[in-house]
Amino acid sequence: MKKFNFRKVLDGLTAASPVGSSGGGSGSVAGGASVHPGATAGAAGTPREEIQETLTSDYFQICKTVRHGFPYLPTALAFDPVQKILAIGTRTGAIRILGRPGVDCYCQHESGAAVLQLQFLINEGALVSACADDALHLWNLRQKRPAILHSLKFNRERITYCHLPFQSKWLYVGTERGNTHIVNIESFILSGYVIMWNKAIELSTKTHPGPVVHLSDSPRDEGKLLIGYENGTIVFWDLRSKRADLRAYYDEAIHSVAWHHEGKQFMCSHSDGSLTLWNLKSPNRPFQTTIPHGKVQRDGKKTEPCKPILKVEYKTCKNSEPFVIFSGGLSYDKPCRRPSLTIMHGKAITVLEMDHPIVDFLTLCETPYPNEFQEPYAVVVLLEKDLIVVDLTQSNFPVFENPYPIDIHESPVTCTEYFADCPPDLIPVLYSVGAKHKKQGYSNKEWPISGGAWNLGAQTYPEIIITGHADGSVKFWDASAITLQMLYKLKTSKVFEKQKVGEGKTTAEIVEEDPFAVQMIYWCPESRIFCVAGVSAYVIVFRFSKHEVNTEIASLEVRLQCEVEDIITPEPETNPPFPDASSQLPSLKSLSGSTNTVACEGTMKDSIPCLSVKARHVRMPPGYQADLVIQLVWVDGEPPQQITSLAVNSAYGLVAFGNCNGLAVVDFMQKTVLLSMGTLDLYGSSDPYQRQPRSPRKSRQFAAGLTELSDSPVSLEFERCKSPTSDHVNGHCTSPTSQSCSSGKRLSSADVSRASRRGPGRPPFRKAQSAACMEISLPVTTEENRENSFSRSRSSSVSSIDRDSKEAITALYFMESFARKNDSAVSSCLWVGTGLGMVIILSLNLPASDDLRQSEPVMVSPSGTVLTLKGAVLTFACLNCMGTLTHRPYEVWRDPHSADDGDKTRKRKLVMHSPSSSQDMGDHQFAVICSEKQAKVFSLPSQTCLYVLNITETSFLLRADVVTLCNSVCLACFCANGHIMTLSLPSLRPLLDINYLPVTDMRIARTFCFTNEGQALYLSSPTEIQRLTYSQEMCDNLQDMLGDLFTPVETPEAQNRGFLKGLFGGSGQAFDREELFGEATAGKASRSLAQHIPGSGGIEGVRGAAGGVIGDLTRARLALDERGQKLGELDERTASMMASAEAFSKHAHEVMLKYKDKKWYQF
């Protein structure tokens, strides 16, 4: 009897079953995915045997690499004058530490509390941060990724001010109650020595002096502490005798205090815009009071009030007058005056106006010792959105050219793209054209924040980041070796005429604010063709040239008709018109709108573009020059819909773009429109879904006037057309230039079309549309719903009731592939993906020879092939029969305006596929298609679905890219629930799935992108780009690529004060803080006052150095280096003291010989 193998029978049943069934899954991805190997046939009969996949889960690990840009919402500033590194604290609890270019470190407090103050342990490789949650933290900077060594959490008092004297291990901490505590930096334990507020002020004082706003020790005597209280009280406290030496009082509140380096005078800034100078010998009143910006009033007695001077610094110079530098203090008479920094040098007063409010500033001086001439050379000014360094050594006070990429947010970022391993000649070429536009007038000195050390590391492939902005500008950045440097800036708005104020909307703008905002970017690095899609429904094709040209800008206008006829709507009831179509809509039940959104202007706009292209000759500098502008136009009073997908191919000479109405294909070589078609017409007879017959009569009834359905939301298709200033991403309506949603109550076109088909009795049912098309409709009624909509389950049902008749184009891809089942050779194709998961393949019939390309027309026709997925299509890719990624065809770049442009150079050089696959294209290929719900791999030309993976059931993908890693290829996905995943190709095996990045802001969803070599980025704040890697190799090498914050630098020696000055100029008694504040003398502080929390910095430091014995050796070597360095310093100081002693002995002997024989009356 023949035996049956039950396993083989089950395998046969599985192969015969429909591939798309969602049975039990073999692997778990994003919380509920399943992998189904599909039936195999034809040439791709045994794909698993043919293709050996090399990537495994061991190749993947996620970690953040570096953060670029300006720290978001800065609050504090500190500088180490010996190490020459700068630290910036923020309101979100972040700290950015900056040194020389390449040295840029980001660290974050776990609590997320705002940073109040930062203090470096000068030349010690450590930093103290005081946070708004009343915690002190000690950061270890002697490792590439700083970590917290100790924390001290105050329980009963709030921290207001901290001061750490130079070369001291005792930190003074002032509190809101007016008390001053002392913390040992080494152990981070409170001393029992406390200066209570009621001991500091006079007993006769009846009021509380307020919080401590200033603490500093006297430059003349370290045993004296100056305490400034908010209400104007100043106490000079003797730490040894534990009593106040003197007290001073002023009527106005104190904001800051600054010492003269000799320790005899100090200056205070006050809330009335005044500066007071005090002398320790006469503390009863200030011996000098000035209001620098105050004007004397008519009576001649009293100056007018000014704004508070928030901070003052008093810096002395040996060979010139002292510098008095302060922020604020301007008069109230000009309310619109910009924030300013005032520099008083002698009798000269210079006011530097800033573009943003001043957060803090620091004066950089030659010496770290407070009792020497300070010799200031620069001022670091931290603004709310910028960092400026002013050169004090030149009389006109120029600013230094900032080497950091802190101007990413110069205009709000609206989109990003990331290109790793691009052609190596691009970066120098872009830099050469960008360098010509650099500004003049900077200081000729080197950037003063020059600490740390950084080397190039092992990673050498070129990387470029492109950012699109709200003002229409596009910036190209060199991102190689985890740095960021501006290469080139392109202003796309230059191709349009400026709208004159008061002229009115003659060109029917659809965006009131930022009409030139860049929405999408497409770049072909090999051909240097660059294309942008703008928020005002236009596409611009740019070509790169090294030569300046003066020419007219070619433009085309495209009509993409809204297919209103496909919508069957109930008979409209007669209702009063909605009073104001442009007003905010109160609720979903009272929504109403009009198909004729410009009816109030009296004329129906038709065939009018949103913006006006310049009609005259335009000078275009070297770089990217506009080759063609394509604009969608108004149709029957309806504004054009925003573009949702974009693709360009330089070999074909075609650009394709689509929106929720349809698809347009333009030949940018011949400057002609090849195709402008509604999405439904692309199917032809291949439409797999039942569509309702057209009803022009009923649709025209809606166009006649404003209507409102009694039992459902607005039944009109164009509610969103009124103000398409916002992009809709997965249920959120967000303006590209702002964080909040200004039109959250507005229904998108998808909502409206469903409501129109629904009828009076049906429940409101909404299907989520596309993540890529930026036009998702979820029930949005409140701000809370908008914030939480990412966690909602999204249905992708394909029932006829749920099926949208308006189908957005969400993905486009040009490639050489098999367009039909019976094709024997590849041909030029355009793959089109829609918001309903449909994939349509269009055949491109190009002229046979390059000579005919400029004259013969290009034919675009549907191939009849339609493939289906669940959810909106996000991305395409093509693999050859060996599983290698097939590169898109491209034209090798040539300068279109080259001087030696003869007949030989005019011939186009085309690369139709990648060199790796050119030897054997094979008789089949694999098409990889990923939607927001699932991924599929098809074998072509048989169109058999080999593999399908249901990536997520409860969420949806925001971004998916096919990327190369370790000479192989994988599919990288970012899900709305925060998961980052990678899948093998072609088998779609899950390789990585980590819940890593919660989508807390729409900014992350809009800007996240993957690239080759295991890298990705997103906009972590409006001003910062966060880069991360999902490559294990890069995670392993990251330690070598990061810069060193701490480098061994010898602390400069204190100046020799001289014998007489040392004898008479200050206190001769040495001040031993250890003896005074230590536990033996001062006792222990109350345990309930503060809680010590040990940090992980030591462990992290060991991990950063190495593991095991290597780590021990590294630490031992560092300790020996430091010990040797200190011994060397001690030896040098001993030699110096011996030389001084010998010189003193010699001079004393000479004096003795001179006066030896003289009598007393001869002296």
**DSSP secondary structure letters along 765-777:** ------TTTT---
Q: Cα separations (Å) of 337 from 297, 330, 353, 355, 863?
A: 20, 8, 8, 10, 65
* 8 A C-beta contact, residue 649 and residue 814: yes
Q: Cα separations (Å) of 1150 from 720, 1146, 1154, 1156, 1160?
A: 97, 6, 6, 10, 18
In angstroms, rounded to a whole number, what is the distance separating the alpha carbons of residues 164 and 802? 67
* 8 A C-beta contact, residue 59 and residue 353: no
Q: Kind of pairing, strands 838-845 and 827-834?
A: antiparallel
| Model confidence band, residue 716 (pLDDT cutoffs 50, 70, 90) | very low
In angstroms, rounded to a whole number, what is the distance separating the alpha carbons of residues 455 and 1044? 9
The string of pLDDT tens digits covering residues 759-812 is 333 333 333 333 333 333 333 333 334 333 444 333 333 333 333 457 899 999
In angstroms, rounded to a whole number, what is the distance separating the alpha carbons of residues 658 and 677? 9
Query: What angle is formed at CA 168 by the lines to CA 1079 and CA 187, rounded to 5 degrees?
Result: 45
| Model confidence band, residue 398 (pLDDT cutoffs 50, 70, 90) | very high
pLDDT of residue 1072: 76
Mean pLDDT, to the nearest integer, of 947-951? 96
Tokens of 464: 């470029």
The secondary structure of 777-805, three-state, reads CCCCCCHHHHHHHHHCCCCCCCCCCCCCC
Q: Kind of pairing, strands 555-558 and 623-632?
A: parallel
The mean of the pLDDT values for the chain is: 79
- Checking if the pLDDT of 599 tops 50, the result is no
Higher-scoring residue by pLDDT: 847, 500: 847
- Checking if the pLDDT of 1 tops 80, the result is no
In angstroms, rounded to a whole number, what is the distance separating the alpha carbons of residues 769 and 641? 16
* 8 A C-beta contact, residue 991 and residue 985: no
Question: Which of 310-324, 380-394, 920-934 shows the lowest per-residue confidence on average (mean pLDDT)?
Answer: 920-934
Higher-scoring residue by pLDDT: 302, 171: 171
Name the region of 230 (left: φ>0; alpha: ψ -120 to 50; beta: rest).
alpha
pLDDT of residue 803: 39
pLDDT of residue 923: 77
Tokens of 959: 């971004």
The string of pLDDT tens digits covering residues 1079-1102 is 777 777 777 888 888 887 654 444
pLDDT of residue 980: 96
* 8 A C-beta contact, residue 377 and residue 364: yes
- Checking if the pLDDT of 1070 tops 80, the result is no
Half-sphere exposure of 740 (CA within 13 A, CB side): 4
Q: What angle in degrees, to the nearest 10, is found between the helix axes of 1108-1155 and 1097-1105? A: 100
- Checking if the pLDDT of 1060 tops 70, the result is no
The string of pLDDT tens digits covering residues 344-377 is 998 899 999 999 999 999 999 999 999 999 999 9
Mean pLDDT, to the nearest integer, of 520-527? 94
Tokens of 358: 């001043």
In angstroms, rounded to a whole number, what is the distance separating the alpha carbons of residues 672 and 556? 8
pLDDT of residue 767: 32
Higher-scoring residue by pLDDT: 830, 24: 830
pLDDT of residue 1162: 60
pLDDT of residue 673: 94
| Model confidence band, residue 338 (pLDDT cutoffs 50, 70, 90) | confident
E-strand ranges in 905-1053 read 910-911, 925-931, 934-940, 944-950, 957-965, 968-975, 979-984, 990-995, 1009-1011, 1015-1021, 1024-1031
The string of pLDDT tens digits covering residues 529-561 is 999 999 999 999 999 999 999 999 999 999 987
| Model confidence band, residue 163 (pLDDT cutoffs 50, 70, 90) | very high
Tokens of 681: 């017409």
For residue 99, count CB atoms less than 10 angstroms from its CB and return exposed for 0-12, middle for 13-18, buried for 19 or more.
buried
| Highest averaged pLDDT of the listed ranges 328-337, 696-705, 1001-1010, 1069-1078 | 1001-1010
Higher-scoring residue by pLDDT: 926, 1066: 926
In angstroms, rounded to a whole number, what is the distance separating the alpha carbons of residues 708 and 712? 9
Indicate the residue type of 158.
R
Higher-scoring residue by pLDDT: 1156, 368: 368
Nearest to 223 by CA among 172, 174, 276, 277: 172
In angstroms, rounded to a whole number, what is the distance separating the alpha carbons of residues 48 and 31? 26
- Checking if the pLDDT of 38 tops 60, the result is no
| Model confidence band, residue 1124 (pLDDT cutoffs 50, 70, 90) | low
Full DSSP string of 527-578: TTEEEEEETTTEEEEEEEESS-EEEPPPEEEE-----GGG---PPPPP-PPP
* 8 A C-beta contact, residue 965 and residue 31: no
Rg of the chain in Å (alpha carbons): 36
Nearest to 1029 by CA among 976, 965, 967: 965
- Checking if the pLDDT of 528 tops 70, the result is yes
For residue 8, count CB atoms less than 10 angstroms from its CB and return exposed for 0-12, middle for 13-18, buried for 19 or more.
exposed
| Model confidence band, residue 115 (pLDDT cutoffs 50, 70, 90) | very high
Tokens of 960: 């998916």
Can you give the length of the chain in residues? 1163
> Residues near 111 by Cβ (< 8 Å), separated by ≥ 6?
93, 131, 133, 135
- Checking if the pLDDT of 173 tops 80, the result is yes
Question: Which of 215-229, 233-247, 625-639, 915-929 shows the lowest per-residue confidence on average (mean pLDDT)?
Answer: 915-929
| Model confidence band, residue 906 (pLDDT cutoffs 50, 70, 90) | low
For residue 747, count CB atoms less than 10 angstroms from its CB and return exposed for 0-12, middle for 13-18, buried for 19 or more.
buried
- Checking if the pLDDT of 147 tops 90, the result is yes
The string of pLDDT tens digits covering residues 414-426 is 999 999 988 989 9
The pTM of this model reads 0.80
Mean pLDDT, to the nearest integer, of 462-466? 95
pLDDT of residue 1118: 57
Handedness of CA 812, 818, 823, 829 (dihedral sign): positive
> Cα-flanking dihedrals φ and ψ of residue 199, to 5°?
-85, -30
Indicate the residue type of 657.
F
- Checking if the pLDDT of 137 tops 80, the result is yes
* 8 A C-beta contact, residue 971 and residue 935: yes
In angstroms, rounded to a whole number, what is the distance separating the alpha carbons of residues 1148 and 971? 84
- Checking if the pLDDT of 110 tops 60, the result is yes
In angstroms, rounded to a whole number, what is the distance separating the alpha carbons of residues 569 and 1025? 47
In angstroms, rounded to a whole number, what is the distance separating the alpha carbons of residues 1087 and 155? 10
* Helix, strand, coil share (%) of the chain residues, nearest 5: 15, 35, 50
* 8 A C-beta contact, residue 559 and residue 608: no
Share of the chain above pLDDT 70, in %: 74
* 8 A C-beta contact, residue 953 and residue 32: yes
In angstroms, rounded to a whole number, what is the distance separating the alpha carbons of residues 723 and 325? 48
